[in-house]
A and B are shown apart, each in its own frame.
Chain A
Amino acid sequence: MKMHKASLFGLYAVLELASDPARQLSATDIAEKYAISTHHLAKVLRTLVRSGLVQAVRGVGGGYRFAGVINRTTLLDVIELFETLESELDTPHPQSQTAGAVVEELQSITREIDDLTKAVLDTITLETALNSSRLRAGLEVAHAG
């Protein structure tokens, strides 16, 4: 699975903002933390604001803050704002029945993979992902110590 850059940036932004819903961050704050393009992230943030997951706070000291429901929003909810997660199978127009059957079989297999991918992403809430990240960070600190 190759996730679009916008989806990945969207996940970074939402998870970063959801980790402390009271906190406001600018696009630059988030982009610097994840070493990504501020320009691209700003466009992603506009989509997130339109979806209602993120709120834009105007004025001096403004920025963005999380406005969704952390234990109800899944990773798939965020990704689907940017892409459909359907595998793109560049299929020609088969010239025979057997070629058609091969194309159909391959389409069926990619659908199976897509369904499994979605089933995983649709059951991991932002809360679960953040808890796992914190656990992972704690383990890494413990290993480093």
Chain B
Amino acid sequence: MTDPLTIRNAILADLEAVIALDLVGLAAKETAYWREIFDRYVSAGKDDGFFLVAEANAEVIGFIVGEVRAWEFGSPPCGWVFALGVSPAVREQGVGELMFQEMCARLKRAGVAIVRTMVDRENKLTLSFFRSQGLRSGRYIELEKPLADD
């Protein structure tokens, strides 16, 4: 990747590119999910939610979505990064790092001092990425159980 990389706000025209990037990842989501995310974070223009894309050579090669969440599970306001994707063709070239740094800068400007995320423990690629950015196990522990059939 030799072209200059830009991190910018997502626009509605990025929808298809983001869906395509997400489909090559580990967790394919429905198009409806992404339409809803675009409605909420791109069209509505939230002050405390950020949908950024990485662009090089007029092509979207990565995305990251995060927002400020307050008092969930009793936690004071903090930033959550809940979606991240980088084209496999440009991985390990700093795209994710640049997007994450820009996301952290925006979350900090929005008034929070901590950023969180949640990743499937089998998703070693994404976990290793967040670790490389300095994230560690936090104060909250996720618990779950399968619901029994009636």
The interface of chain A, by Cβ under 8 A from chain B, is 71, 74, 115-116, 119-120, 122-125, 127-128, 131-132, 135
Q: How far is the CA of A135 from the CA of B133 in the complex (A)?
A: 12
Q: How far is the CA of A127 from the CA of B132 in the complex (A)?
A: 8
Main secondary structure of the interface of A (DSSP, over half): helix
Q: How far is the CB of B140 from chain A (nearest CB, A)?
A: 14
Total interface residues in chain B, CB < 8 Å: 9
Q: How far is the CA of A125 from the CA of B124 in the complex (A)?
A: 11
The interface of chain B, by Cβ under 8 A from chain A, is 92, 121, 124, 127-128, 131-132, 134, 137
Q: How far is the CA of A115 from the CA of B120 in the complex (A)?
A: 13
Q: Which 4 A-B pairs have the closest CB atoms?
A: A123-B127, A119-B121, A128-B132, A123-B128
Residue of A nearest to B129 (CB): A123
User: Pick the contact of A131 from B92, B128, B132 — CB < 8 Å?
Assistant: B132
Contact A123 B131 (CB under 8 A): yes
Contact A120 B132 (CB under 8 A): no
Contact A128 B137 (CB under 8 A): no
Contacts of B132 in A (CB 8 A): 125, 127-128, 131
Contact A125 B134 (CB under 8 A): no
Contact A120 B124 (CB under 8 A): no
Q: List 24 A-B contacts (CB under 8 A).
A: A71-B92, A74-B128, A115-B121, A116-B121, A119-B121, A119-B127, A120-B137, A122-B124, A123-B124, A123-B127, A123-B128, A123-B131, A124-B128, A124-B131, A125-B128, A125-B131, A125-B132, A127-B132, A128-B128, A128-B131, A128-B132, A131-B132, A132-B134, A135-B134
